[in-house]
Amino acid sequence: MATITNHMPTAELQALDAAHHIHPFSHQAELAEKGARVITRADGIYLTDSEGETILDGMAGLWCVNIGYGRKELADVAARQMTELPYYNSFFQTTHVPVIALSQRLADLAPGDLNHVFYAGSGSEANDTNIRMVRTYWAEKGKPTKTTIISRKNAYHGSTVGAASLGGMAGMHAQGGIPIPDIHHIDQPNWWAEGGDATPEDFGLERAQQLEQAILELGEDKVAAFIAEPVQGAGGVIVAPDSYWPEIQRICDKYEILLIADEVICGFGRTGNWFGSQTLGIRPDIMTVAKGLSSGYMPIGASIVSDEIAEVIGNCEFNHGYTYSGHPVACAVALENLRLLEEEGIVDRAGREIAPYLKEKWEGLLDHPLVGEAKIVGLMGSVALTPDKASRAAFASDPGTIGYICRDRCFANNLVMRHVGDRMIICPPLVITKAEVDLLIERARKSLDETLEKATADGLMVAAS
């Protein structure tokens, strides 16, 4: 059998891919027809495909390559660790240096008294851990009925059975028999789409107070925790009105509900600070991290928990763990990634220099006829596409029709910009420069122009009634 390499013709690679590879979150038959784009290498913020095209990656892979592509330091650390100790577990009275070092580093970086780390192979697994951890915590405290976790519609917390149950994605809940019991969803704080005539401030308060109503309806003695992303990522980069988070924090404090901040996207510089909780003024009891923790170079996730939770859990045997919890190579790579993000001032510069520059340019897209709302926090942003700005109207076509056209135009213009329904989102590597921000905006604007042209020609610029 011939070796499959980067040098094979694209069509052959695509045919082999379609023959044997089932893609995540994809319609296989449709994908096979179009053919998947074959990415062959990457450097900085740019991807190269099998046709030799250079593509600006406005999504940092899947929201994860914070440090940018091509950092040899991370490869070197991985090679060294693989040679020295490629694997060992920490189940049976054993530990190793990379997991010790990374835990200390994370305790240092994390705000407040979040000083203890439980490892997983991904963000989904870490959220599964959180479900079991908060329930075990309350059981150990003599309150075993506190099992329900409140989450939000359109939240994304991962794709395992537990994490997808926590998430509020209707399309995911429609398949495979989820959610699991004792997960409750309240509405998301998406003012642009759902705020009606309310001011953003009033709407933010109302949506936060749904948490209080849910606690009162379910019973305070039944609720274990509330989980939320500081900024909803996969839901479309939904930024809550300013009134939202202080009210959520007040309610969690009042009813002694554990607050889980899912920082899988927001962590490690994405929002302009090390953690989204710092940007939004939240004091979580648990933070879920993954993605930017290793900048995607190795799969790793974790739950970073408070002194109080660690102490309570520490009084029992917590019957939970993964073969790859605290994998030495993943830990070593994550540690080196954090060192570079800090010592090279990447997080600092992203927050202080790039975020304000990107914000100005991104919000400049508001003058485009298709753009109804432009939101951005740090280096994650979204625009809502609309046929009528004044009424904040959705399109009459199936949700995502226009977004898909726009994503297609971006693809053609060598920009990775994702669509969630009819919202377009960006999340570039933190190492993006101002000149590269200009290029991103130029390609985004060109793609929006072409989208408007096509949507107009196809008679799609019609508001839903």
Ligand X SMILES: *Cc1c(COP(=O)(O)O)cnc(C)c1O
CB of 81 to ligand X, least distance (A): 21
CB of 430 to ligand X, least distance (A): 16
Task: Answer for the pair 282, 230: CB distance below 8 angstroms, yes or no.
Answer: yes
CB of 204 to ligand X, least distance (A): 20
Whose Cβ is closer to ligand X: residue 233's or residue 387's? 233
| Lookup: tokens for 245 | 């988070």
- In the list 96, 116, 146, 157, the residue contacting ligand X (rule: CB under 6 A) is 157
User: What spatial distance separates the first Cα and last Cα of the chain, rounded to whole Å?
Assistant: 57
Q: How far apart are CA 440 and CA 89, in angstroms?
A: 43
CB of 247 to ligand X, least distance (A): 21
Site for ligand X in 172-201 (CB under 6 A): none
Site for ligand X in 300-329 (CB under 6 A): 301
- In the list 290, 298, 383, 394, the residue contacting ligand X (rule: CB under 6 A) is 290
Q: How far apart are CA 114 and CA 117, in angstroms?
A: 8
Tokens 């990415």 belong to residue: 39
Site for ligand X in 48-87 (CB under 6 A): 63
Whose Cβ is closer to ligand X: residue 68's or residue 267's? 267
SS3 call for 306? strand
Task: Answer for the pair 55, 438: CB distance below 8 angstroms, yes or no.
Answer: no
Residue of closest CB approach to ligand X: 123
Q: How far apart are CA 432 and CA 392, in angstroms?
A: 31
- Rounded (to 5) percent helix, strand, coil in the chain: 45, 15, 40
Site for ligand X in 403-432 (CB under 6 A): none
The H or E element that residue 186 is part of is strand 183-186
* CA 52, 57, 62, 64 torsion-angle sign: positive
Whose Cβ is closer to ligand X: residue 119's or residue 395's? 119
Interface with ligand X, residue 156, by CB under 6 A: yes
CB of 10 to ligand X, least distance (A): 27
CB of 61 to ligand X, least distance (A): 11
Q: How far apart are CA 3 and CA 436, in angstroms?
A: 37
Contact string 220-239 vs ligand X (x = CB under 6 A): ---------x---xx-----
Nearest to 388 by CA among 370, 410, 411, 407: 370
Site for ligand X in 121-140 (CB under 6 A): 122-124, 127
CB of 265 to ligand X, least distance (A): 4
- In the list 13, 117, 265, 298, the residue contacting ligand X (rule: CB under 6 A) is 265
Q: Can you say how many angstroms the Cα of residue 378 is from the centroid of all Cα atoms in its chain? A: 14
Whose Cβ is closer to ligand X: residue 18's or residue 380's? 380
Transcribe 155-170 into DSSP letters.
Answer: ----SSHHHHHHS--H
The pairing of strands 423-426 and 380-385 is: antiparallel
Whose Cβ is closer to ligand X: residue 164's or residue 310's? 164
Neighbours of 265 (CB within 10 A): 29
Whose Cβ is closer to ligand X: residue 234's or residue 335's? 234
For residue 215, count CB atoms less than 10 angstroms from its CB and return exposed for 0-12, middle for 13-18, buried for 19 or more.
buried
Whose Cβ is closer to ligand X: residue 212's or residue 262's? 262
Whose Cβ is closer to ligand X: residue 14's or residue 124's? 124
Determine the size of the site formed for ligand X (CB under 6 A).
Answer: 17
Whose Cβ is closer to ligand X: residue 117's or residue 452's? 117
Task: Answer for the pair 304, 289: CB distance below 8 angstroms, yes or no.
Answer: yes
Whose Cβ is closer to ligand X: residue 136's or residue 294's? 294
- In the list 264, 371, 394, 440, the residue contacting ligand X (rule: CB under 6 A) is 264
Summarize as ranges the residues that interact with ligand X (CB under 6 A): 63, 122-124, 127, 156-158, 229, 233-234, 262, 264-265, 290-291, 301
